[in-house]
Structure 1
Amino acid sequence: MKLQTKKIVLAGVLGAISIILSVTPIGLIPVPNLSGSATTMHIPAIVAGIIGGPLVGALVGLILAFSTMNLFFAMGVNLVACFVPRILIGVVAFYIWTGLKKGNVGIVASSLGATFVNTIGVLGLAVLFGNFTLQQIAPIIALNGTLELIFSAIIVLPLVKILQHQFPSK
């Protein structure tokens, strides 16, 4: 798989945006539950997967995982829960998008699917590794998951439509 210069630049820019979202309050929306906030930090990885392909999406997800490790350390959560779902965000987004023959419906569906993978993946692995109980996680999934799905669907579509002009699919 050949990684073109434009895709490397895309990964760098979206990776930088992921870092900015993870170290500033911009990427965290305050919510009244155990987590304290819902996130928009996963959105650059979704866009990277749709526009740049699964490798670029995985790379931006990896950058996101590294930039959010401090949050996982602070909560005592296993790093597998930090890395695996984050790396899969862009990969899942790409395959849902291409599976639905691209288009606007595919973009929205891929943003929802990738957001679901992030939210359920991170929280599910945290429960699996014994960091939290299902009773602690259920309100987070209900509130954060819903907000993250809504934000993702609203934000990803116009971003992808704009970027598709610079990065046309083949």
Structure 2
Amino acid sequence: MKEKGNRDITREPAIWSITTDRIVIAGILAAITICITLIPGIGFIPIPNITGNATIAHIPTVIGGIIGGPVVGFFSGLIFGIMSLLHATIPMFKDPLVSILPRIFIGLVAWGVFAALKRLNTDLAAIMAGFLGSATNTVLVLGMGLLRGYVPLALLPTVLPQAIAEAIISALLAEVIVRSYSIVQRRLVHAPETKNRDELPY
């Protein structure tokens, strides 16, 4: 039985509402996204292929969609897209339709996958949400790049190893972070109590 006041991330009422918790989560994840994209070699890792960079900067957006819902996922993806545009070193990512628009869907997909699978198993839901959220980034960015004429169709297979690596990293981190967040929210981690709950200082 849950204690009064505890929240359960597997049961989020009013998914499209803007709450204080979601504003805080969105702010924190936006700050993390900005920081890791500004530090060279972390958010965007230079590699010699058509994308120019591998990235882990989409992971806060994935996490935002999972723990904060679609509103947080949308906002986090928007911030990621804007930072991608500002960081752009190749023409493809200087186009907002490539650098910003696809990123809006990362958190929405992560939220949708997690919401669909969480009743089966929370860990599995987080892993799949992380994997498919990352895949959304790759597929939509390259798809838009292809439609806009920046990406030759013949070169798309060269991105596959990068895409798989990013998706696996995203899946693993999503599972770890969501599990940790869930534990904290449910207050499952605490020292043995020798006093009544009302007498404890926490």
Normalised by the length of structure 2, the TM-score is 0.76
Equivalent residue, structure 2, for 1:8: 23
Query: Mean alpha-carbon deviation: is it higher for 48-57 or for 99-108?
Result: 99-108
Contact 2:60 2:76 in 1 (8 A): yes
Extract unaligned runs of 5+ from structure 2: 1-15, 187-202
Equivalent residue, structure 2, for 1:114: 133
- Deviation string, structure 1 residues 36-68 (Cα, Å, up to 9, x no partner): 431100000000000000011000000111111
Equivalent residue, structure 2, for 1:92: 109
Contact 1:51 1:167 in 2 (8 A): no
List aligned pairs for 1:1-170, cutoff 5 A: 1-24=16-39, 25-72=41-88, 74-77=89-92, 78-102=95-119, 103-140=122-159, 142-165=160-183
Contact 1:37 1:144 in 2 (8 A): no
Extract unaligned runs of 5+ from structure 1: none
Normalised by the length of structure 1, the TM-score is 0.89
Equivalent residue, structure 1, for 2:200: none
Contact 1:38 1:147 in 2 (8 A): no
**How many residues in Structure 1 have an aligned counterpart in Structure 2?**
166
- Tell me the CA shift for residue 120 of structure 1: 0.8
For residue 83 of structure 1, what is the amino acid of its counterpart? I
Matched residue of 2:54: which SS?
strand
- Tell me the CA shift for residue 144 of structure 1: 1.3
Cα 1:108/1:137, change in 2 over 3 Å: same
Contact 2:50 2:151 in 1 (8 A): no
Contact 1:31 1:144 in 2 (8 A): no
Cα 1:167/1:62, change in 2 over 3 Å: farther
Matched residue of 1:164: which SS?
helix
